[in-house]
Amino acid sequence: MRYEILTDVTKQNGQRKRLRTRKNVDGRPLATEAMARAELARIQNDVATHNFVARRRVTVEEACEQWLGSKHGLKPSTLRCYEMWLAPLRQELGHVELQQLEKHHINTLIDELKLGKVPGYKSWGAGPINGMLGRFHKLMEDARKQGHIQRNVVELVDRLPQDNTELNILSEADMFKILDHPDRDRHVWALALYGLRRGEMAGLRWEQVDFTARTLSITENRVTVGKDTYTGTPKSKASKRILPMPDELYDLLIDAQARIESEYVVCDERGKPLTGTTLSSRWTRMLQRLEIKHVRLHDARHSCASLLHARGVPVATIAAWLGHASSAFTMSRYVHSQDAALIGAAQSYRQ
């Protein structure tokens, strides 16, 4: 025997609507009178508090497609990142109806991603998993605001703790060792050590280098997402900036322009622009040749910020140099005390 509910769920705007169902909110058949009465009470309470959500059979896959399609203001590279973050979710949970999605569905997917058990994917760490959860949370919140779901279950899922260990930076001696090394890409490493992002270096063209005014105009960002490369505007509004060239960088760029036939400042031996991945590989090989401890290419930015800070440059100036909108972010994320500075601080107590 199965019970059926027929009740008035007229909307707040006065639109007349009746609901007929033989299942509860969890999709289980109303097998007893008690179940039917409990479900009826829940529906009537939701209607009275304007929280009633009509039954919809929209799946996770359909919701992802619609949400991604609505992101008209995103850069193509950012949209591609969103697609990659949501891909395993769509693959494994795409068939689940949005209204039937539970916390355990998402937690199971996280466990499988961590262990590398999702077909077609290697194991994921905290960064990409939290990236997936962040985008999925926004998707579900958008669906909730539209009245498609009653609750955003992603809010119930814990984010993975990320490694907040001290980021590696180069010592001042190692920085000068790199700058003095007669490498073909010496000007590239100078740009990195003067604080440019990897994508900013990859997108820099000679037309943006003003040797008369001795300035660099950071107006393009060239990034690779998956197998696709995108050229667009810098990372943020603050990232678009004009930087003065120190004498050493000026001399290195003058030398590079004389021997490089390419519209790009950073390029391979054929004049083709380098991707971020290739830049990182060349950086690693250069550090190995110089027997310098390995740090990421991006850590050259950290090294630049720390050196400027150690030399007394105001944090606001460092933030503007690096293209940050917030000095607080620069201080918390990019400025690190060097060992020599710490020793100096300790010695100051003796004076």
Give me the residue spans of the domains in the chain. Answer: 5-48, 60-156, 172-300
Please provide residue 35's backbone torsions phi and psi, each rounded to the nearest 5 degrees: -65, -40
Do domains 60-156 and 172-300 share one topology? The answer is no
pLDDT recorded at residue 111: 96
Residue type, 280: S
Q: For residue 196, which of 168, 220, 172, 224 has the smallest C-alpha distance? A: 220
How far is Cα 302 from Cα 313, in angstroms, rounded to an integer?
A: 14
What CA–CA distance (Å, rounded) separates 78 from 331?
26
Dist CA 220 CA 235 (whole Å): 9
Percent of the chain with pLDDT over 70: 78
Residue 346: the pLDDT is 38
The predicted pLDDT at position 330 comes to 55
Of 277, 306, 302, 288, residue with least CA distance to 167: 302
Helix (H) or strand (E) run with residue 247 in it: helix 247-259
pLDDT digits (tens, 9 = 90+) for 206-258: 999 999 998 889 888 888 777 777 777 766 676 788 888 888 889 999 999 99
* Segments of the chain scoring below 70 in pLDDT: 1, 9-15, 25-27, 47, 49-56, 163-167, 234-236, 238, 307-321, 324-351
CB 84 within 8 A of CB 225: yes
User: How far, in Å, are 38, 174, 283, 301 from residue 203 at the CA level?
Assistant: 62, 26, 17, 17
Burial grade of 53 (CB within 10 A; 0-12, 13-18, 19 or more): middle
Q: Are 3 and 36 in contact (CB under 8 A)?
A: yes
| CA–CA distance, 20 with 3 (Å, rounded to integer) | 11
pLDDT by residue (tens digit) across 316-338?
Answer: 666 666 776 665 555 555 555 44
| Measured distance CA(265)–CA(243) in Å, rounded | 16
Q: What is the pTM of this model?
A: 0.63
Q: Taking all residues of the chain, what is their mean pLDDT, rounded to a whole number?
A: 82
Contact in structure between 3 and 31 (CB atoms under 8 Å): yes
pLDDT score recorded for residue 90: 96
The hierarchical CATH code for the domain 172-300 is: 1.10.443.10
Question: Which is nearest to 67 in space by CA: 146, 143, 133?
Answer: 143
Percentage of the chain modeled with pLDDT above 90: 39
Query: Do residues 97 and 59 lie in contact, with contact meaning Cβ atoms separated by under 8 Å?
Result: yes
Question: What 3-state class would DSSP assign to 223?
Answer: strand
Among 149, 154, 143, 147, smallest CA distance to 63 is for 143
Place of tokens 């696709």: 228
Distances (CA, A) of 68 to 76, 86, 139, 148, 350: 11, 10, 9, 17, 61
Distance in angstroms (rounded) separating the CA atoms of residues 318 and 332 = 12
Long-range Cβ contact pairs of 213-218 (< 8 A, separation 24 or more): 214/244, 214/245, 214/250, 215/242, 215/243, 215/244, 215/245, 216/242, 216/243, 216/245, 217/242, 218/242, 218/243, 218/323
Tokens in use for 39? Answer: 């479900």
pLDDT, residue 98, reads 87
The CATH architecture annotation of domain 60-156 reads Orthogonal Bundle (1.10)
